[in-house]
Structures are given as structure tokens and as C-alpha cells.
Amino acid sequence: MHVPVLLKEVIELLNPQPNENFVDCTYGFGGHAAAILQKTGPAGKVLGIEIDEEKVKNQKLKIKSFSERIILVNGSYADLEEIVNRENFGPINGILLDLGMSSWDVEESGRGFSFNRNEPLDMRYSAESQKIKVKSDVTAQEIVNGWREEELARIFRDFGQERFYRGIAEKIARARAKKPIKTTFQLTEIIKSAIPKKLHFGKTHPATRTFQALRIAVNNELGNLAAVLPQALEALEKEGRLAVISFHSLEDKIVKNFFREKAKQGQLTILTKKPSTAQKAEINNNPRARSAKLRAIVRI
């Protein structure tokens, strides 16, 4: 069962009131949206945006108590302005972005997000959908087998913050010259061969950063985040609130810098001088919350 991260903190910062409207840009399995809808009755609505068509199909079967107050669309949050206009949705009192992967993506999607499962190297969130304007048409397999060694090294360094980025890229280049790298287990073994064995048994799996880098590159996650933030601010009513949950420092830096810049320009007030993080009890119940950082603003 999907557990929404930092749910209490999200509700406190977004402060949903009766009959207000919200956009959940990363709907997933609707955990945050359901909590918002509980606060915004009897007429408040949520526009849920979800990039994975399979999740959208599943959710349309599950939405019951809030069915008349939720609009669920298959799309990318990078198209926020277009989606809002198309759905004629508003006024918008709050927007949420939860940038984390769900456990479903890792454990059930079959798209190669996890180095613990032997699956094809895909890593696209929108693998099957033909309806999305902003989406990835490149797979992790195509990057691993087709991109130049120097470019692989760059994304491992910049997107994964991997200290052994050069060695991993070199090992990949050697391995693919012999045969294509098609599965997660193949790639994991190649990565491990480039990292000192004494580091194979630490808290962080040796393939973690490389897999993160590939996922970010495949889905253009940082570019899409940078694209949606100004759209979200523009879509909000005055006194409307925007909350963003990030899960690694690259995302958090983009959010923090955007908020600071717009605060200096007098467009918003920052509600979180420091990001909100999960309490020990939540981390014990949901370990993925450990790295979550929540920042929020109110539009002036």
C-alpha cells in the first residue's frame, strides 16, 4: 500500500480550506490528494496529473468517495499550464509536487528502476502513453549502449554525484563493445566491477548513484522541474501555496534557488526557511521518507 510522504507537513503548509481547488502534479496513487480533498469539501476539487498511464487507469477504478471532486489526467507536470487551460481548472489555491518514486515503480512496474530486480533497462515513467507531449522517448538501455563514454561519465558525475564516474563509464564502454547491455543485473555487475570491493557492503548499494543518474537522464527530471516551477507560480491565485517534496540535493537546489530568486523579486513569501523533513516515527514506518525535503511558498 502506497504511503504518502510528509503527509502531515504537506497539509499544514498547503493549509487547504473548504471549497478550495488544488493541483497534485504528481498524483501517483492519490495519497496526498485524498487528504487534501478531505479538507476541501463540499465543493473543492483536485486536478491530479500523473505521467504513468497505467497508474491513471488503476486509479479511475479506485476513486469512489471523491469521484465528483477529482479530475485525473494522464500527462507530465512540465505541461502544467497547458493541462490547466485545457481542463479549464481554477481558481487554484494550492499546488503540490512530490518528486519521489513510489514503491510501485521500483517493485512492480518492471521498467528497470531497481538494481535488485533483473528487468529490462527502460526507466521511463511514461513508457506506454501516447498522450503526453513532454515525455521521454529514450530508454536507459539506449543511453547505456549508445551514448559516448564521455557523456556517460558526465551524467554519472552530475546527476548521480558518483565519485567513480569515469571508471564506471569506461567499464560500460568495454562491456558493450562485446555485447549489448540489456538488463539491470548486467549493468549492476559492470558498475560493481568499477568500484572498490571494500565499498560494496556499505549502507548505499554501489549501483545506487548510477541508476539515479540514468533515471534522471531518461526522464529529464531536472529540466522538467525547472520548467514547472514558474508555471506553478503563475497558475496560483494570490495567497495560493506551492509545496515541493524533493529527494536528492540536485532537485532541492533547483527548488531552493527558484524560491529565493522569486522572493527577492517580491513574487512570493517562503514558508520554510529550512526544509521540513520526516520525523523518526515516519522514517521507521516508511524508510523512503528519510531523504525527503519539503519546501513551500505562498504567492504574494
**Residue 223 pLDDT grade (very low, low, confident, very high; cuts 50, 70, 90):** very high
- 152 with 87, same domain: the answer is no
What's the CATH number where 205 sits? 1.10.150.170
**Residue 127 pLDDT grade (very low, low, confident, very high; cuts 50, 70, 90):** low
Q: How much is the pLDDT for 185? A: 98
Check pLDDT > 90 for residue 43.
yes
Contact 194, 170 (CB under 8 A): yes
Predicted TM-score (pTM) of the model is: 0.93
**51-109 confidence digits (pLDDT tens):** 998 888 877 656 667 888 999 999 999 999 999 999 999 999 999 999 988 888 888 88
Q: How much is the pLDDT for 249? A: 94
Domain membership flag for residue 124: no
- 57 with 202, same domain: the answer is no
How confident is the prediction for the chain on average, in pLDDT?
Answer: 93
Phi-psi region of 161 (alpha: psi -120 to 50; beta: other; left: phi over 0): left
- Out of 200, 219, 238, a domain closes at 219
Check pLDDT > 60 for residue 133.
no
- 237 with 295, same domain: the answer is yes
Q: Whose grid coordinates read 517580491?
A: 266
- 80 with 147, same domain: the answer is no
Segment 22-40 mean pLDDT: 95
Check pLDDT > 50 for residue 129.
no
Domain membership flag for residue 94: yes
Contact 278, 289 (CB under 8 A): yes
- 85 with 49, same domain: the answer is yes
- 187 with 236, same domain: the answer is no
Check pLDDT > 60 for residue 130.
no
Check pLDDT > 60 for residue 296.
yes
Domain membership flag for residue 125: no
Contact 216, 189 (CB under 8 A): no
Domain membership flag for residue 2: no
- 211 with 245, same domain: the answer is no
- 196 with 284, same domain: the answer is no
Domain total in the chain:
2
Domain membership flag for residue 128: no
- Out of 162, 184, 219, a domain closes at 219
- 95 with 26, same domain: the answer is yes
Check pLDDT > 80 for residue 1.
no
Domain membership flag for residue 118: no
- 229 with 169, same domain: the answer is no
Domain membership flag for residue 25: yes
Check pLDDT > 70 for residue 113.
yes
Q: How much is the pLDDT for 106? A: 87
- Out of 219, 249, 277, a domain closes at 219
Domain carrying residue 210: 137-219
Instruction: Take residue 126 and report the three cell numbers written for it.
Output: 511514461
Domain membership flag for residue 110: no
Please state, as a whole number, how many other Cβ atoms lie within 10 Å of the Cβ of residue 188. 19
Q: 16 or 54, which is more confident?
A: 16
